[in-house]
Chain A
Amino acid sequence: MSKFLKKTLTLIAGTDDLASIGISMPRPRIRPRPLKQLTERELIQKESEIGAQLFGIVPEGHHRQFFNLDRNTWIWYEEWVDPTTKKRQESTIRYEIHANGVLKAQEGARYNFLEGQELINFVTAVQIYYERVMREVYHRDPATGQRHPAFAPSSAV
């Protein structure tokens, strides 16, 4: 119902509480939007929700994001409140994929190429991220990139 109609009824009835005098305001109909297009940012956000789960349980009070930003960039972001100082802390790590390795860039101009167990962990996380994102967000077969009935949403996403 339009604001104009509601205001008119309020003026006629002399009260804002239309329900108390038996006038019910119809609720606006929410039309389902089954094929609403998501923006790239919204898609990344959905991917990030999966990415945050890849490294175990996120500690209480922490907020974590891990997502693929573009072809050659992956982001780890975490924020939390320091229990002693009660100040909000945050950390952002950027992983840049170069031809000769994975460069880890942190605050304070700290750069180093991943190696050893850290590199293995990162590759594993990326692989799982891809598999889960393709299935759960895009409903595609990770191996072929094609839509697959087995990964189709049952009802709502």
Chain B
Amino acid sequence: MGNSFNESREFVPAGFTGLSENTVDKEPTYMPSYAQRYPHAVNTAPLAQEIQPAPTQRPQVEKMRKDREIAAHITLIGDRIRVTREQTTSGVAEYGQRAA
């Protein structure tokens, strides 16, 4: 479900639609700042999900970190090979090949 506008043309983020104004009255102290911004959207469950990543998302974050490390490692190797080639072709290195 996407973002939408309530009857008062106020913006309501996704997952917070369908709540009546009475919800605010019943839980006036819950997340007051958020409730002020989105008075029709006070609901703890979706808010908690939005603030704190679900545990199932953490392995994905860890995988992304490892993939970045691997990419950096391979790039470093590629760069070393490139430098070595350049030094060899420019004569910096004494690479030699004897004729048969």
Contact = CB atoms under 8 A, between A and B. Distances in A.
A127 B96 contact: no
Contacts of B85: 40, 43-44
B95 A139 contact: yes
B98 A155 contact: yes
A123 B68 contact: no
Contact of A97 (B75, B82, B84, B93): B75
A1 interface: no
Contacts of A32: 98-99
Contacts of B97: 33-34, 36, 38, 156-157
A155 B98 CA distance: 8
B78 A31 contact: no
Given A40-B89, A100-B64, A140-B84, A34 B96 contact: yes
B94 A123 contact: no
Interface residues of A, number: 45
Contacts of B27: none
B99 A72 contact: no
A31 B74 contact: no
B71 interface: yes
Interface string A92-130: 000001111110000000000101000100010011001
B71 A147 contact: no
Interface in B34-81: 63-64, 67-68, 70-75, 77-81
Given A40-B85, A140-B84, A33 B99 contact: yes
Contacts of A19: none
A153 B93 CA distance: 13
Interface of A: 30-40, 43-44, 47, 68, 70-74, 97-102, 113, 115, 119, 123, 126-127, 130, 133-134, 137-140, 145, 147, 153, 155-157
